[in-house]
Structure 1
């Protein structure tokens, strides 16, 4: 079983988006060392909880400090961008990190203000042309424009021999057929609509037809919010941040910040606090939490029911050291092959992993500030809410 993670650039309470971005790159480095298969970065805009708002920037940063893990987008919101821009950008990333780049494509509304701000043509009404946009991205990457098309005969970076893997992402019943009919992999966001996951992935398999892209057979991924603690009580404690964040979203919209478990415990109503983190009857949880044994049993039941080939773990754990602790326990629980990264983390003599990762974060922070804030350490970096997997 391939196991991967989605990284949101979560901003720890009391810290800044700059810290969240540096922590995201450190988390990618840590995931590489633990043996995770992929790390995908989300696209979120104008919120206060997560700093990953342009995944291609974090893909480039993470690719530079990792060696084996695949790096990708979870997802690029294709309804906001030119298919040519997206295809060329990810082909360039593939040239930088050959054989390691994933292009996850989704669509979402981020609210009237953000949707309007992202549109180059603000006089036109939005149209539902997601299928056409995905098809155009593929045509650019695979040189599939028909004869006579104005884009035919204009290959992207023809000296680059490979293309990124392409994955439509979704959280509803509308995406599986598209991915299957185009012969692509498909990732379903079980952390948004867990009750739809089994039907969606089964529909994808029924619809799958190979089209000569990068999937000869169905390639189904299930994405789940996971907090794996040292034991069941610790896992339930870590999941409080996710529960508290969703409660804050309901009250305050995209300006909601990530609470610590202690803050969430004070704010949550009893029903919110006690929301199940395991399967109850046939009802899947929004948040899977507990110790290693309980979490693995829950995830294996979900994977078996959905027929997923890969597991993608998302979390909303407030503290980066707790997030990385959860990742380490997930890697151990699923028997991932650790230690494939060869570059040393941290200064000579650094022994503990957390200390080495903190050292790497301090080294990365100035360069990330220059790259993401135009060289101005005081510049703010906008971040966003969890909408990258819509549709």
Structure 2
């Protein structure tokens, strides 16, 4: 089973976004050495927790400093952008790093103020049609507009035959229908909606229809928040960081950093601390944690139940060295 990673540009307490961005590039090199298949960069606007605001910039930086690992977006938030702009940008990235670029497309709100700021027309902001935007982006990349369509006269970088892989990212059943209907890859955010992951990925496989957009069969990724420790006790302590971060968000602290494990231990309630980090019955956890063997067993069960071809690892540990060590232990557990 393939393993990949998504990087948020996590800002360590006491550090800053400049250092976090430099660490993101170093981490891409580290992930490549460990044998991970791809690294995706997130898009989070005006968010203190992570410095990855525009994934295209980190894709270019990481691509230039690596040679094998695939580089991509997890995800470009299509509700903010022109499909032409997105398609052309990723076609150019593919020209720079042939055979290594992934265009992951999603949607999300950054809040009413930032959503408005990202619009060109502030008086009449666009009402985004997600399905149309994704379909149009794919049509630009594959030169798939009908002959009578006005866009059919324009070719994107006609001298570059390579096309980035296209993925739809989501956390609800709607995404599985759209990805399956377009015949493109699908990645489900299991750390957002763990109980919806297996049904959505199975539905995607069942409904998949090839449309000539690079795939003859379904291609599915399950994204999971994972913390691996040398021991189960150490992993449980470290997993307090993402648990406490989301607890802060739920309390309304939307500009918080990810707390250290020591900070998290002081903040978490007993119920938050004891939230399961492995599958219990038929309930999947929001946060997977444990020693290497425990985490491997959990991820293999998730892959088997969902039909995922690949697991995408999200890790929010704020200390870069601890975060790298977690990925090292996981790579060794899977013999990457």
1:40-119 to 2 correspondence within 5 Å?
40-119=40-119
1:252 Cα deviation after fit: 3.2
Kindly indicate whether the alpha-carbon contact (under 8 Å) linking 1:17 and 1:51 is maintained by their aligned counterparts in 2. yes
Task: Report the counterpart of residue 209 of structure 1 in structure 2.
Answer: 209
- The residue number in structure 2 matching 1:295 is 295
| Secondary structure of 2:36 counterpart | coil
Matched, 1:268 2:268: yes
1:182 corresponds in structure 2 to 182
Match of 1:278 in 2: 278
> How far did residue 128 of structure 1 move?
4.5
1:147 counterpart residue number:
147
Matches within 5 A, 1:215-364: 215-336=215-336
Conserved 8 A contact 2:168-2:175: yes
Query: What aligned pairs does 1:181-200 form with structure 2 within 5 A after superposition?
Result: 181-200=181-200
Partner residue, 2:5: 5
In the TM superposition, 1:20-31 aligns within 5 A as: 20-31=20-31
| C-alpha distance in structure 1 between counterparts of 2:152 and 2:93, whole Å | 22
Query: What's the Cα RMSD here?
Result: 0.9
TM-score (norm. length: structure 1): 0.85
Query: What is the deviation of 1:218?
Result: 0.6
- Number of residue pairs the alignment of both structures matches: 336
Q: In the TM superposition, what whole-angstrom CA distance separates every residue of 1:276-296 from its partner, at most 9, and x where no partner exists?
A: 101111110000001001111
Task: State the Cα deviation string for residues 337-361 of structure 1 (Å, max 9, x = none).
Answer: xxxxxxxxxxxxxxxxxxxxxxxxx
Deviation at residue 150 of structure 1 after TM alignment = 1.3
Match of 1:379 in 2: none
| 1:15, distance to aligned residue in structure 2 (A) | 0.3
Deviations, residues 151-184 of structure 1 (Å, cap 9, x unaligned): 1121100111111000000011110010001000
Residue 2 of structure 1, CA deviation? 1.0
Which structure has more RCO (C-alpha within 8 Å, separation ≥ 6)?
A: 1
In the TM superposition, what whole-angstrom CA distance separates every residue of 1:168-210 from its partner, at most 9, and x where no partner exists?
Answer: 0001111001000100010000000000001100110111000
Alpha-carbon distance in 2 for matches of 1:155, 1:105:
21
CA contact (8 A) 1:46 1:254 kept: no
The 2-side partners of 1:128 and 1:306 are apart by 30
CA distance in 1, matches of 2:198, 2:111: 29
SS at match of 2:211: coil
Relative to the length of structure 2, the TM-score reads: 0.98
